[in-house]
């Protein structure tokens, strides 16, 4: 018997297995391409011959594969009695998908946990991961120590899928922001603007604006009651200007084309004078 099994030893799965082993766990790993699992083999890591073996060797199994459908298929194909076991999946799942997988595992006698990881594999490997977890509370209490040994773990609630949806709500803005920052750096490089200045001003400006936005929207939930700091029309014009310059610079303006579409649609619906933060109330964003 081992403490934790990890099914799927891609970049994140390998990081989980290595971090858990470093934290003192006896770990079982399985991967469809066996060589990837064997690369992790060592004093604290053994390789399972099958998914079924991995599921039965440990009280906690973490499934870290490319998508939810594959995670569910692997569990169903194993067709094992998993009484007393906990299976956690790191693949994004909607609440409906998570409930369905929880039901599959319950019928096999197991508990289900969602594990959302808003962290990079290098952070997980260094035992500095961030984990949002939802599902059966008894499963969380039984196994929380392993997650807490390899990072900051937060239990969201017992609703299947809540961890993934919670992460999505927070991280939704990150990728567009990150792409925008990378494009901004290109603009700096092409125009002899110091990247050191870019970094310092970004780190000064963004936290202030993010804090101001969140405080204002939370304090005044009704968009109609918010003071107009910048109107929808203002941002529609600004987005159009950015699109033009991005094209001139040879950069893809797709992100700002999408934003321009949202603001223009709201403006054409008669909301152009409203504060821009009311944009999510417009049908174009739903």
| Rounded-to-5 percentages of helix, strand, coil across the chain | 60, 15, 30
In this model, does residue 16 exceed pLDDT 90?
A: yes
First to last CA, the chain: 49
pLDDT of residue 190: 96
Q: What predicted TM-score, i.e. pTM, was given to this entire model? A: 0.89
For 69-122, the pLDDT digits (tens) are 999 999 999 999 999 999 999 999 999 999 999 999 999 999 999 999 999 999
How many Å separate Cα 59 from the centre of its chain? 25
3-state secondary structure of 47: strand
How many Å separate Cα 117 from the centre of its chain? 6
What is the token pair recorded at 60? 């906690």
In this model, does residue 282 exceed pLDDT 90?
A: no
In this model, does residue 285 exceed pLDDT 90?
A: no
In this model, does residue 286 exceed pLDDT 70?
A: no
In this model, does residue 223 exceed pLDDT 70?
A: yes
For 30-78, the pLDDT digits (tens) are 999 999 999 999 999 999 999 999 999 999 999 999 999 999 999 999 9
Is it true that domain 4-159 has CATH number 3.40.50.150?
Answer: no
| 161 secondary structure, DSSP code | T
Walk across the sheet containing 86-89 and list its strands. Answer: 45-47, 27-30, 4-7, 60-63, 86-89, 111-116, 129-135, 151-155
Handedness of CA 11, 167, 285, 275 (dihedral sign): negative
pLDDT of residue 90: 98
Which residues partner with 154 through β-bridges? 132
Residue with structure tokens 């998914």? 51
pLDDT of residue 3: 99
pLDDT of residue 283: 58
Question: In the predicted model, what is the mean pLDDT of residues 175-203?
Answer: 98
For 247-262, the pLDDT digits (tens) are 999 999 999 999 999 9
C-alpha torsion angle, residues 261, 265, 286, 169 (rounded to 10): 50
**Phi, psi (5° rounding) for residue 151?**
160, -160
What is the token pair recorded at 35? 């060589």
Work out the percent of the chain whose per-residue pLDDT is above 70. 99
Question: In the predicted model, what is the mean pLDDT of residues 152-162?
Answer: 97
The two domains 4-159 and 173-285 share their CATH topology (first three levels equal): no
Q: Return the domain boundaries, the chain.
A: 4-159, 173-285
In this model, does residue 284 exceed pLDDT 90?
A: no
- Classify 173-285 by CATH class: mainly alpha
């Amino acid at each position: 018997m081992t403490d934790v099994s990890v099914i799927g030893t891609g970049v994140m799965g390998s990081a989980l297995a290595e971090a858990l082993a470093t934290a003192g766990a006896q770990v079982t790993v399985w991967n469809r391409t066996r060589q990837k699992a064997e690369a992790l083999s060592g004093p604290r890591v053994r390789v399972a011959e099958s998914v079924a073996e991995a599921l039965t060797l440990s009280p906690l199994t973490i499934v870290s594969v490319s998508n939810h459908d594959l995670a569910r298929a692997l569990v169903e194909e194993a067709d094992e009695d998993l009484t007393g076991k906990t299976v956690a999946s790191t693949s994004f799942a909607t609440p409906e998908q998570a409930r369905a997988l929880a039901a599959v595992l319950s019928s096999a006698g197991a508990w289900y946990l969602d594990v959302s990881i808003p962290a990079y594999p290098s952070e997980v490997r260094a035992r500095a991961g961030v984990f949002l977890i939802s599902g059966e509370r008894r499963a969380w209490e039984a196994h929380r120590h392993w997650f807490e040994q390899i990072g900051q773990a937060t239990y969201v609630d017992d609703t299947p899928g809540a961890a993934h949806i919670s992460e999505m709500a927070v991280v939704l803005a990150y990728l567009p922001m990150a792409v925008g920052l990378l494009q901004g750096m290109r603009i700096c490089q092409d125009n002899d603007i110091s990247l050191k200045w870019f970094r310092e001003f970004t780190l000064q400006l963004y936290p202030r604006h993010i804090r101001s936005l969140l405080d204002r929207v939370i304090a005044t939930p009704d968009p109609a009651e918010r003071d107009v700091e910048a109107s929808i029309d203002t941002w529609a014009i600004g987005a159009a200007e950015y699109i033009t310059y991005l094209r001139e610079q040879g950069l893809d303006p797709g992100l700002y084309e999408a934003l321009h579409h949202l603001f223009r649609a709201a403006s054409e619906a008669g909301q152009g004078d409203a504060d821009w933060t009311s944009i999510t109330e417009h049908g174009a964003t739903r």
